């Protein structure tokens, strides 16, 4: 695992758990609004390679903090790109920690493998836009079938999960959110996350965030299909 940073204590990253957060390098998306460019852009990732935290150090930290932490969150850039993600999760679970995984959903096979081995306790998947508009946000050629398969894998899993959309004025309309919610109508919960204008992957990306009232209007659209819709502002 290429881990470049660890947040040693979090009460918000892993719902209902006290967790640490490990941040992995590399992502196959290039979302303009991403505020983690140091984990995504090749030129910045190369610099971060000098700061890779050895897995032995991570496991020693977890051993020392067992009395304080209950979970490990794995996120940024895209963890499913890590070749030894399975082995890492296996080791963490052997230490009696719960595991939360953040993903963009582009590798359903990794999700299925981890779920089959009971190595995940919570999944958070980013649903960046309607499927047919996804490439306009991620700036990649999207394999729609993999993306949709990941959604189905998560919906049919026996663990807790969430889907979430970072909403941006020039990208998302009420109709977009309505369409996303319609497809995700079977989900347990759905989060709308307001875009923040800092440290964006594209420095020129300075769109104004939604107001509280505008977010609530988007929430109302999503609630036409999903009963539990939350705002992260």
Does the structure show a pLDDT above 70 at 141? yes
Averaged pLDDT, 178-190: 96
In a domain, 193, yes or no: no
The span from the CA of 224 to the CA of 205, in Å, is 31
Six token digits for residue 104: 């963009």
Strands 19-24 and 3-10: antiparallel
Rounded to whole angstroms, how far apart are CA atoms 222 and 185?
9
CA distances from 146 to 67, 91, 132 (A): 39, 27, 13
For the chain, the average pLDDT equals 90
Sheet containing 3-10: which strands, arranged edge to edge? 3-10, 19-24, 71-75, 98-103, 122-126, 160-167, 190-194, 229-232
Residue 49 has pLDDT above 80, yes or no: no
For a pLDDT cut of 90, what percent of the chain falls above it?
Answer: 69
pLDDT (tens digit, 9 = 90+) per residue, 52-85?
899 999 999 999 999 999 999 999 889 999 999 9
Quick check: is 16 in a domain? Answer: yes
Task: Judge residue 67's burial from the number of C-beta atoms within 10 Å of its C-beta, 0-12 exposed, 13-18 middle, 19 or more buried.
Answer: exposed
CATH number at residue 125: 3.20.20.70
Q: Is residue 182 part of a domain?
A: no
Peptide bond into 140 cis (omega under 30): no
Provide mean pLDDT across the span 129-152: 83
Interatomic CA distance for residues 13 and 5, integer angstroms: 15
Q: What is the extent of the structural domain holding 153? A: 3-174
- Output phi, psi for 104, to 5 deg: -95, 0
Domain-embedded: residue 216: no
In a domain, 56, yes or no: yes
Q: How confident is the model at residue 46 (pLDDT cuts 50, 70, 90)?
A: low
Greater confidence (90 vs 44) lies with 90
Question: For residues 32 and 40, which has the higher predicted lDDT (pLDDT)?
Answer: 32
Higher pLDDT, 40 or 183: 183
In a domain, 205, yes or no: no
**Given pLDDT bands bounded at 50, 70 and 90, which one contains residue 50?**
confident
Any domain includes 200: no
Distance, CA of 159 to CA of 118 (rounded, Å): 9
Q: How many domains does the chain have?
A: 1
Contact 122, 15 (CB under 8 A): yes
pLDDT of 17 above 90: yes
Give the residue from 30, 39, 189, 37 showing the smallest Cα distance to 122. 189
Backbone angles phi, psi at 99, to 5 degrees: -125, 130
Give domain status of residue 219, yes or no: no
From the list 180, 195, 176, the residue with the least C-alpha distance to 226 is 180
Higher-confidence position of 173 and 206: 173
How many Å apart are CA 93 and CA 121, to the nearest integer?
Answer: 10
Quick one: pLDDT at residue 112?
98
Contact in structure between 34 and 77 (CB atoms under 8 Å): no
């Amino acid at each position: 695992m290429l881990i470049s940073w660890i947040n040693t204590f979090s009460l918000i990253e892993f719902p209902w758990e006290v967790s640490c957060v490990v941040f992995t390098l590399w992502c196959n998306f290039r979302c303009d609004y991403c505020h983690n460019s140091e984990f995504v852009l090749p030129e910045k990732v190369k610099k971060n390679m000098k700061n890779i935290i050895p897995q032995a150090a991570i496991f020693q930290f977890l051993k020392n903090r067992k009395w304080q932490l209950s979970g490990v969150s794995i996120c940024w850039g895209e963890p499913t790109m890590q070749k030894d993600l399975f082995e890492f999760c296996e080791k963490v679970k052997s230490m009696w920690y719960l595991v939360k995984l953040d993903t963009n959903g582009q590798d359903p096979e990794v999700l299925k493998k981890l779920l089959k081995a009971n190595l995940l306790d919570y999944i958070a998947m980013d649903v960046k836009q309607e499927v047919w508009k996804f490439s306009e946000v991620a700036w990649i050629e999207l394999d729609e079938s993999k993306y949709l398969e990941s959604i189905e894998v998560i919906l049919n899993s026996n663990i807790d999960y969430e889907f979430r959309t970072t909403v941006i004025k020039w990208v998302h309309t009420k109709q977009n959110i309505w369409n996303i919610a319609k497809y995700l109508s079977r989900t347990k919960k759905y989060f709308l996350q307001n875009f923040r204008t800092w440290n964006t992957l594209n420095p020129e990306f300075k769109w104004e965030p939604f107001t509280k009232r505008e977010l609530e209007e988007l929430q109302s659209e999503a609630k036409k299909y999903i009963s539990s819709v939350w705002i992260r502002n």
